[in-house]
Structure 1
Amino acid sequence: MRFVEVVLNEPDKRVVAVADAYFFPPYQPMLDKPKGKPSMFPTLQLPYRQARLVVYNKRTNVTSVWVVELSEVHAAARGGKKSLPPLYQTFRLLWYEFLPLKLDAVEYAECEATVKEHASFIEAMKRRGIEDMDRVMVDLYEVDSPSRRLARPLVFCRTESDCPLENGYARPVEGIHVLVDMQKMQVIEFEDRYLVPLPPPDPLRNYTPASSRRGVDRSDVKPLLISQPQGPSFRVNGYAVEWQKWNFRVGFTPREGLVIHTNDYGKICHSLKRGCDCLGLIKYFDAHFTNFHGGVETIENCVCMHEDHGVLWKHQDWRTGSTERRRSRRLTVSFFCTVANYEYGFYWHFYQDGNIESEVKLTGILSLSALDAGETRRHGTVIAPGLYAPVHQHFFVARLDMDVDCKPGEGLNQINNNGFSLHQNSSSYAQRDCNSLSARHWIVRNTRTFNRTGQLTGYKQVPGSNCLPLAGPDAKFLRRAAFLKHNLWVTQFHPDECFPGGEFPNQNPRIGEGLPTWVKQDRKLEDTDIVLWYVFGVTHIPRLEDWPVMPVANM
C-alpha cells in the first residue's frame, strides 16, 4: 500500500466563519447584535476533523479514496506538554471510493531506473555513442489510458563535464519510443525508430556560476539591500496572518500548492531555504506531506511572505507645482515548484486598497528536440546548433470561492457581466471568454449589502494577458482538459468540486469530467454560494535569450 496523499478535509466554510468570530479578535465585530435580541449563534460545537487519504494498492492496481473522522486527538497534538503519553487518534471510516490514480514523484525515479536498465534501451544508447548510463536522464510523461497506468518517457544525455550542474536538457535523444507499464514497472513497448546525431555540446548550455563552468559573470551590478529596522508590518499567529486590513490563513496541499483561506479585508513544491527571490524581512511557512509509507515529510521554508512595492498614488497640481505622493505597500505570499525542466512561481499580492492580484512567474529550462544537420522546424525556434525549442502553451486555473461581504453563516452572491444587461442565472450559460476590445470583466456582488453610495458591494475579476488553446477542437488533450475552452466558468459551490478537470483526469474513463460536466447540471447562480474558475494561459514562442535558462516571464 502506498499513501499517495493525506490532507485535512476543509470544514464547511460557514462553520469556519462562525468559529473565527468566536475565537479570533479580528472577526468578532461580526457577532455584534442589537440589544435585547438573542444571538444568532448558539453555543459553538466544532465538528470533528476529517482527513482525506488517497491510497494505492500496487498489487491490485486499485486506488481508493478514504475519508476518516478523527474523533479524538491527544493533547500533545494540540501543543500539549512533551511529558504526556504518546499521541494517538481514534477514527472511523466515513466513505471511500475506488478511482484511477495520477503518477507520483517517487514513480518518476523508479521509471527512470527501469528504462535505463532495459537491454534494448542500453543497445540503442550505444548506437548513439553513449555507454555511461549515469549521464542519461529520463523524464516521465503520463499517457491517456483509462484502463492502465502508462508513461512515455523523453530521454536526454549529459556531456562529460566537470560542471556540477551539467545541463542535460541541452542534448535530447531522438528516435527512441518507450512505453512503460507503471503498475508492473516494466517496459512494454520499445522501438529504435531512427537515428538523429546528438547535438554538439553548446558552450552556452550551462547556467551555474562562472567559476563552475569556465565562464564570466557580470560584475557591474551593485548590491541591492532592503532594510526594515522596525520589523515587518504583518503579524503571524501559526498560519494566520494580519496585515493592514487583511486577515487570512496560509495553507498548502500537495496538489494545489499554496492556498489562501478565509481571506478577509476591512474588518479591522521545493524549499526556499536554498534561494529566495524576496528581499527585506521575510516570514517562511513550512509545508508537510505524507510519503508513500504514510510518514510525514516536511519541506522547510516552502512558502514565503514579505512586504514590497513602489508608488501607491501620486498627483501634481500643475497650477502650483506642488506634489503629493504615497509609497505603496503590498503583502506577497508565494511559493515555487519544479516540474521536470520547468519552474513555476505562484504569487498572491494583497494591496492596501483591498485589491488582490494573482501572478505566475515562469522560468527554468526549455524542452528541446534535436535536429539533423541543415534541418529546420516551422513550429519552433532554433536556439543552438542542432537544437530547437517548440512553440508551446501553459495554462493555469484559479479557483475563487466567493463570499463577498458575507457575515458568518452567509454565502449568497451573484455574478453579472461588466455591469451591462447581460446576466446569467444558471451555470449552463456562465462560460465566458476574455475580450480586450470591450475591456470585458466580471463582477460578483452581494445582493444584500450596499456601499455608501447605495450600490451593491462586490469584487471585480479583471483579466490580464490571456489566451485560449491553439489546438483544434478535436485535439486529444481537450478530452481531459475541456475546461481550457473558456477563460471563465461559474458554478454553484459544491464541496466535492475542487479540480477543473476532475480529480484523476489522465486515467479517468469519463471524458469531459470536471467543469464541462458540472455546468450541465444547470444549477442556479443567483442568491447562492458560487465559485469562479478563472483560466489563464500564455503562448511561449521561444527566443535565443531563453537559453540556457529562461528569464522570468510574468503573467
Structure 2
Amino acid sequence: MTDGAVPEAAAAGLTVPPPAHPLAMLTADEIRAARAVLDAAGHLGDDVRFVSVVPEEPAKAELLAFSPGGLVDRRLRVLLLDRANGASYDTIVSVTRGAVDHFEKIDTVVSGQLPILDEEFETVQEILDADDTWRRSLARRGLDVSTVRAVPLSAGHYGYEGEAGRRIVRSFGFHQDHEQDHPWAHPVDGLVAYVDLTARTVVQVIDDELVPVPEEPGNFQDPAYTGPARTTLKPIEITQPEGVSFTVEDGVVRWENWTLRLGFNVREGLTLHHISFRDREMGRERSVVHRASIAEMVVPYADPSPVRFWQNYFDQGEYLFGRYTNSLELGCDCLGEIHYTDVVVADENGEPRTIRNAICMHEEDYGVLWKHSDLFAGSNETRRQRRLVISFFTTVGNYDYGFYWYLYLDGTIECESKATGVVFTSGYPEQGREFATEIAPGLGAPFHQHLFSARLDMAVDGQFNAVDEIDAVRVPVSDKNPHGNAFGRQVTRLRSEQEAQRQADGSRGRVWHVVNPDVTNRLGQPVGYALVPEGLPTLLADDSASVTSRAAFATRHLWVTRHADDERYPAGDLVNQHPGGAGLPAWTAADRSIDGEDIVLWHTFGLTHFPRPEDWPVMPVDYAGFALKPVGFFDRNPTLDVPRSSNSGHCHGDGQEPTCH
C-alpha cells in the first residue's frame, strides 16, 4: 500500500535535503522528518512506538551506478508498534519527498513479532510486582517482591496454544540486596513467568523447584569485594607525534591503500561498504568487499530444565543490539590517537538520540610484517606490520560485545568479536547441574554458545565471483609418491546454493577461496581472497529443536547465496517469536547458481562457552573471528614499499637509512 506524497511537505517540515551519498549515516533531521511524515499521514498516535528506524539502502545496481553529485532519494524503513493492541506495521518513508512509500500491517501469526521495546521490559516489572501468583512464589523463597528484579527475555517459538500472534516474553527473577548490588549473583531459580506484553497480564507462572538463592555478592566494582587495586602496573603511552595515517571525510575512510565507507544501523550496528585496495603496481583501485556486517547472532543455552529450556536470544533480530551501543572513552575502551564517530538513532517515540563516540578508529602496531637475515647476501631486513582498527561495543543485558574490523598493510581483513560482561546465572543445588558450571558457592552458569553470522557481499576485483573449497589432502604411497612424503590440495568448485552449505574442517585445513574467474594475475591464476575460518562448533542443539529451525544459519559455517537486495538477515526479517525456516533455508531452496555470479557469503563463527570460575563475577574477554586473506590477488608481496622503522631509540643508522636492530 502506498500513501503518496504529503501536500506541502517541505513547508510542513516533512522533507530534508538529500545526503551527498546514498549510504550516508542517518541524521537527526531525517529522523524528525520521518516522524513528521508518518504523523501527517495519520499513522501515529499516543500508543504507537517506533521500534526501529534504519536507512533503506538503495538497490546494489543503483549504488554501483551512483556518481558524486547524483540525485539521492533518502528512504527510511520504520517499524511501528501500537502498544494498545499489538498491531505492528512495516513502513518505508521518503524524507526527501515527504512521502510514505509503503505501509503494511504485519501478520504476526505468520511473520513473527517486532523486536522488543525497552519500554516493554520496564512494563514487565510492574506486571509481575502486581501478580499474586508471582508474589506467592517469591514468598515461598522468603523474598519480598520489592527486592526482586524482573529479567524479561525473548520467548522463542514452541507452538504453545494461545501464544501465536501475542507479544510474549518469559521472565526470571534476580534478588538485589541493595541499589548498587549486581542481581546476577542472586538468581531466583526454579521459577519463570510468561507475560503478555499487550494485555499486560501474566499468562503462566511455572514454579518448578525450590533452589537456594546464592548469597555471595558479585560486585566487581566494589573494593570491599575485590580488594585493593594493584600498584605494580606501569603506564603505557601510545603516541603518534605526527598524527594518524588515515583520514575520514563524509564517512569515507582512507588508510594506506585502503578505502571504505562507514555505515551504522540499530540492527547490525557497524557496517562497512565499498572496501577497496589501491594496487600501486596496477595503478587502480580494486574492489574486495561490497558490503560487510554482522547480520545476526544467536545465544542458545543448554539447560533443558522446565524453566530454562526455552532460553535462546537473537540479540539483533529480537533486541536490535545497535541501539545499546556504548559511548566509548579514551584510555578505557580505546588507547592511542583515536578518531571517534557519533551515530544518531531513533528513540521509541521517534525522536533522534545521539550516541557519542559510538565508533572508534585508530592504528595499532602489530609486530613484525616480514623479516629476513640472509647468509649469502649479507642483508638483514625487518618491516613492522600495522593495522587500522574500526570498532564498536554494545551491551545487551548481562553480556557486552565488541566488534572489531582490522585492515592490514598486506591486504588482509579480519573480523573479531570480543565477548565480556557477566555470564547468565542460575542456582546450583547440592546435587549439581549436568548442563551448568558452578562458578561460585551455590551459583551456576548454564552452558551456552555465542554464534554470529557475518554477511560478506563479496566483490573480488569485480561483482562476479565464484567459490572454491580448498582442502589439504594426504597422498598415499604410489609410483608417483614412493616415499610417502607428498601431500596436496583438493579444489572443489561450489556451483549452487545447496552445494555451498558447508562445514569447516580443521583436520583438512579447509578454507574457501572467493575468486574472480574473469580476472587473472600475471601467472594466469584467477585473483582471489580466502575466507579463513576458525572452525569452532556450529549450533549444538538437536536437529529437531525449535532453535535449530529458527537459527538455521548457525548450523553451517558457510552459506553462499546469489545476491538479492531484499536478502539481508540470515534468520529472516522478523525473528521475534517466528516459527522458523526464514532467511537462508528459504532463500537457498531455489538452489540458484553461484558460479561466476554476484554472490554473498554468510559465515558462522563464535564461541561455545562452558563457563569457568574465572569468568565470575565479570568475564575476561573471549575472542572469536575470521580472516579474509588475499590469494593470488596481488602479483607479489604488496608491502615491499613499506619503509624501515625509524622510531627514535629503537633503531640506529650510519648515515644511511636506519636499520632495525
Q: Same fold (TM over 0.5)?
A: yes
User: What whole-Å deviation, never above 9, does each CA across 1:381-419 have from its counterpart, x for those lacking one?
Assistant: 21111112122111000000111112xxxx211222228
Equivalent residue, structure 1, for 2:227: 215
Cα pair 1:480 1:506 within 8 Å, conserved: no
Change (3 A) 1:400 1:324: same
- Aligned-residue offset at 1:46: 3.1
Change (3 A) 1:7 1:214: closer
Asked if residue 51 in structure 1 is aligned to residue 76 in structure 2, the reply is yes
Q: Of 88, 109, 112, which residue of structure 1 is paired with 2:125?
A: 112
Alignment of 1:73-152 (within 5 A): 90-94=98-102, 96=104, 98-99=106-107, 100-131=113-144, 133-134=146-147, 136-144=149-157, 146-152=164-170
Cα pair 2:466 2:594 within 8 Å, conserved: yes
Instruction: Name the TM-score, length of structure 2 as normaliser.
Output: 0.73
Equivalent residue, structure 2, for 1:82: none
Equivalent residue, structure 1, for 2:316: none
Asked if residue 340 in structure 1 is aligned to residue 397 in structure 2, the reply is yes
User: What whole-Å deviation, never above 9, does each CA across 1:434-471 have from its counterpart, x for those lacking one?
Assistant: 00111111111122222222221121111124212222
Cα pair 2:553 2:571 within 8 Å, conserved: yes
Q: What letter corresponds to residue 254 of structure 1 in structure 2?
A: V
- Aligned-residue offset at 1:223: 1.2
Q: Secondary structure at the match of 1:183?
A: coil
Asked if residue 417 in structure 1 is aligned to residue 473 in structure 2, the reply is no
Give 5+ residue unaligned stretches, structure 1.
Answer: 24-43, 73-89
Q: Secondary structure at the match of 2:334?
A: coil
Cα pair 2:515 2:528 within 8 Å, conserved: yes
Cα pair 2:405 2:415 within 8 Å, conserved: yes
Q: Secondary structure at the match of 1:115?
A: helix
Q: Distance in 2 between matches of 1:139 and 1:61?
A: 18
Equivalent residue, structure 1, for 2:195: 180
Equivalent residue, structure 2, for 1:376: 432
Change (3 A) 1:515 1:107: same
Q: Of 369, 382, 388, which residue of structure 2 is paired with 1:331?
A: 388
Q: Distance in 1 between matches of 2:568 and 2:524?
A: 35
Asked if residue 244 in structure 1 is aligned to residue 256 in structure 2, the reply is yes
CA-atom RMSD, angstroms?
2.2
Equivalent residue, structure 1, for 2:239: 227
Q: What letter corresponds to residue 466 of structure 1 in structure 2?
A: L
Change (3 A) 1:129 1:425: same
Equivalent residue, structure 2, for 1:31: none
- Aligned-residue offset at 1:61: 2.0
Change (3 A) 1:285 1:402: same
- Aligned-residue offset at 1:292: 1.8
Q: What is the identity percentage for the equivalent residue pairs of Structure 1 and Structure 2? A: 38
Equivalent residue, structure 2, for 1:441: 511
Q: Distance in 2 between matches of 1:213 and 1:380?
A: 25
- Aligned-residue offset at 1:256: 0.7
Q: Of 326, 336, 346, which residue of structure 2 is paired with 1:280?
A: 336
- Aligned-residue offset at 1:200: 2.1
Change (3 A) 1:7 1:270: closer
Equivalent residue, structure 1, for 2:583: 514
User: What whole-Å deviation, never above 9, does each CA across 1:42-81 have from its counterpart, x for those lacking one?
Assistant: xx85352221111112333222211223344xxxxxxxxx
Q: Distance in 2 between matches of 1:383 and 1:45?
A: 58
Cα pair 2:516 2:527 within 8 Å, conserved: yes
Equivalent residue, structure 1, for 2:451: 395
Q: Distance in 1 between matches of 2:90 and 2:517?
A: 38
Asked if residue 10 in structure 1 is aligned to residue 10 in structure 2, the reply is no
- Aligned-residue offset at 1:247: 0.8
- How many pairs are equivalent? 504
Cα pair 2:539 2:548 within 8 Å, conserved: no
Cα pair 2:367 2:385 within 8 Å, conserved: yes
Change (3 A) 1:149 1:94: closer
Equivalent residue, structure 1, for 2:298: none
Cα pair 1:141 1:154 within 8 Å, conserved: no
- Aligned-residue offset at 1:173: 0.3
User: What whole-Å deviation, never above 9, does each CA across 1:175-233 have from its counterpart, x for those lacking one?
Assistant: 2231100122221212433322211224xx221152x6472222211111101111111
Cα pair 2:152 2:169 within 8 Å, conserved: no
Asked if residue 456 in structure 1 is aligned to residue 529 in structure 2, the reply is no
Cα pair 1:146 1:506 within 8 Å, conserved: no
Q: Distance in 1 between matches of 2:103 and 2:593?
A: 28
Alignment of 1:522-541 (within 5 A): 522-541=591-610
Q: Secondary structure at the match of 2:236?
A: coil
- Aligned-residue offset at 1:134: 4.7
Equivalent residue, structure 2, for 1:385: 441
Equivalent residue, structure 2, for 1:545: 614
Change (3 A) 1:137 1:220: farther
Q: Distance in 1 between matches of 2:582 and 2:79?
A: 19
Q: Of 304, 325, 333, which residue of structure 2 is paired with 1:270?
A: 325
Worse overlay, 477-486 or 109-118? 109-118
Change (3 A) 1:146 1:531: farther
Alignment of 1:284-323 (within 5 A): 284-308=340-364, 309-318=366-375, 323=380
Q: What letter corresponds to residue 345 of structure 1 in structure 2?
A: G
- Aligned-residue offset at 1:526: 2.1
- Aligned-residue offset at 1:132: 6.2
Q: Distance in 1 between matches of 2:131 and 2:233?
A: 49
Q: Secondary structure at the match of 1:126?
A: helix
Change (3 A) 1:46 1:272: same
Cα pair 2:466 2:494 within 8 Å, conserved: no
Change (3 A) 1:405 1:333: same
Q: Distance in 2 between matches of 1:450 and 1:165?
A: 62
Cα pair 2:60 2:565 within 8 Å, conserved: no
Asked if residue 430 in structure 1 is aligned to residue 504 in structure 2, the reply is no
Instruction: Name the TM-score, length of structure 1 as normaliser.
Output: 0.86
- Aligned-residue offset at 1:101: 1.5
Worse overlay, 183-192 or 353-362? 183-192
Q: Secondary structure at the match of 1:329?
A: strand
Cα pair 2:513 2:528 within 8 Å, conserved: yes
Q: What letter corresponds to residue 462 of structure 1 in structure 2?
A: V
Q: What letter corresponds to residue 239 of structure 1 in structure 2?
A: G
Equivalent residue, structure 1, for 2:21: none
Equivalent residue, structure 1, for 2:37: none
Give 5+ residue unaligned stretches, structure 2.
Answer: 1-47, 108-112, 158-162, 279-283, 286-323, 471-488, 625-661
Change (3 A) 1:321 1:180: farther
Cα pair 1:139 1:340 within 8 Å, conserved: no
Q: Distance in 1 between matches of 2:436 and 2:572?
A: 32
Q: Of 201, 207, 210, which residue of structure 2 is paired with 1:195?
A: 210
Change (3 A) 1:458 1:96: farther
Cα pair 2:156 2:578 within 8 Å, conserved: no
Equivalent residue, structure 2, for 1:60: 85
